[in-house]
Structure 1
């Protein structure tokens, strides 16, 4: 079986390296020519939560010549427009695209690739691109968890096959409520990735800042309200039971915050949106994170004032209208709640 990781950035490099190490023939595909060159010449180097140097085969999209049976798709949603033509060209007619993107990527991919060829995969760990050929695992190695599911909730033979493959790069779980698991991870991303950009630091800076974590709680609450309006049963994600943390009073909010802090073990993750802003690239805020929460809230008639403020601040940072500074979090105004 011919396999590839398309979008071999920080996560994709680690995934490809581990699968190669465990005997799989897999190509690492990325648009970053310097990164591809370093991977081929020096191997994939993983630091942080793992110490590994693994020879791999890497190429740019323009160097693709073979059709693939299975592709792990890890490109940021902002690059779908340039990436998907290569997927449609080089994925076999009966091939499988496993999307490990954040947010709710399946519908967009269904429209282009075909629903029958798209499997959802939720990545429960973080990594950072350090330099060409080098990725830093920013989560503990024992928390490298993959949640995978068919869109119709069935446990199929191909899902079992994908689970077996991913078990050689971490812990793989097959799920029957993909949208509910996606929603939980999406909520976590909006709570902590969006706020990581605002505080200009890792998730730990969000967890340790009283106002920032309070903002995260409000974001979580807005997400749960949208899920309820949409009829989605939100699953427990890595111990985080967001549905049971929803609040309507100040007292309930204060009770929810310690549990929200406990739900996030990935203190060292620094959101890719912040790296994008620093590098002059436009972040995924609209297509994947808090901006998408606002769109979903509008669709289902649920107010999203805190998500909207996060989106506005990230827009301003990306446009250079607001400096990258931890004090930006103090610009977020939280709605008042009844005390009881």
Structure 2
């Protein structure tokens, strides 16, 4: 039997804390590293407290970046996009010769990792649950417990012994699946993010408010349609993730009747996440730049390359950019819905 992978989890925000805690509880050897000193101290003193749809307090190992010691077999990268490359470069001295790097951010972070490491050492994945950071040592699981899961795979698509070892590390978190189609997985998750992270951020609301407002859901349906058309133009076969399969057949519509079916499909997919506050919205609320250019912006850029118009994604990028620079007020963000009426 292969030895247990010694794992360094970089980025103890909401998702990283939940993954690190649940994996540790299940017996995986995890060290959580983060630059937020008060959070690291709280994790070491009282453990990771998870509230919301599960209630747990789990002892964990945490440290600051300057306190990392030893060699690690696996790096779980869950930092913000802007910190991916720098954090991985700084972690290099602590990586074993055959260390695997698994990036779990939204968008396409594995492309950044492959600039630093050989393809055979890089894996990519998508997290299927949502949460909210509540303060040092405390995170909230905002989605239903059955959403706890991660789908991941090697960038080559091959299912190797290393892939199986990584799955063993992650198995205690929940439903862990391996894919041989990483591009299809990442574009499926990106579709979800553009519709129900980007749009709620532009409107300053939780997912549930979009689901309950007919015109807001109408906008989400248009965003999803743009994504499906871009995916088809790229020749990518999307992977189904938490019930979402962003194909043209599922998400593109021409008549009002077809649009209603698409909206009902989205309601079914997103209902378990109605309490979610998008991480981008959390960033904007805390005065930080968010990852809108890696989410809706990615669809807009790619649409331009493949000849697919993306006016709804473009508008989301415009609105969120104005919110995070203070040109638009977050307390009035729901009024941004009016900006879509001319599209």
The bucket for the TM-score relative to the shorter chain is: over 0.9
**CA shift digits 1:304-340 (9 cap, x unpaired):** 11100000000000010101122212222364xxxxx
Q: How many residues end up aligned between the 2 structures?
A: 334
Question: Equivalent residue for 1:331?
Answer: 339
Q: Deviations over 1:125-180 (max 9, x none)?
A: 01111000000011111221111111222221111121222111111111121111
Which of 92, 96, 99 is the aligned partner of 2:100? Answer: 96
The aligned counterpart of 2:165 is: 161
Q: In 2, Cα distance between the equivalents of 1:23 and 1:176?
A: 27
Match of 1:272 among 272, 275, 279: 279
CA positional deviation for 1:277: 0.9
**Distance in structure 1 (CA, Å) of the matches to 2:97 and 2:219:** 45
Number of the residue aligned with 1:170: 174
Helix, strand or coil for the counterpart of 1:72? strand
8 Å CA contact 1:306, 1:334 repeated in 2:
no
Structure 1 distance, partners of 2:233, 2:287, is 37
1:81 Cα offset (Å): 4.5
Output the CA distance in 1 between the equivalents of 2:265 and 2:89. Answer: 43
Match of 1:296 among 291, 297, 302: 302
Normalised TM-score (structure 1)? 0.94
Superposition deviation, residue 216 in structure 1: 0.9
Task: Measure the CA separation in 2 of the matches of 1:334 and 1:253.
Answer: 18
**Distance between the aligned counterparts of 1:283 and 1:133, measured in 2?**
22
Structure 1, 147-156 or 81-90: larger mean CA deviation:
81-90
Give 1:103-182 correspondences, 5 Å limit: 103-182=107-186
Contact residue 77 and residue 84 of structure 2 kept, 8 A: no
CA offset at residue 251 of structure 1?
Answer: 3.4
Structure 2 counterpart SS, 1:283: coil
Match of 1:239 in 2: 243
Q: Match for 2:291 among 277, 284, 301?
A: 284
> Retained in 2: the 8 A contact 1:215–1:334?
no
Larger deviation: 78-87 or 127-136?
78-87
Which residue of the partner structure matches residue 249 of structure 1? 255
Q: How has the CA–CA distance of structure 1 residues 114 and 334 changed in structure 2, closer, same or farther, with 3 Å as cutoff?
A: farther
1:338 equivalent in structure 2:
none
Are positions 1:191 and 2:210 aligned together? no
Residues 334 and 80 (structure 1 numbering): CA distance in 2 closer, same or farther, change over 3 Å? Answer: farther
- Do 1:202 and 1:271's aligned partners in 2 also have CA atoms closer than 8 Å? yes
Compute the displacement of 1:76 (Å): 1.4
Structure 2 residue 311 is the aligned partner of structure 1 residue 310: no
User: What is the Cα deviation at residue 260 of structure 1?
Assistant: 1.5
CA distance in 1, matches of 2:103, 2:190: 14
Q: Secondary structure at the match of 2:240?
A: coil
CA RMSD of aligned residues (A): 1.4
**Displacement of 1:35:** 0.6
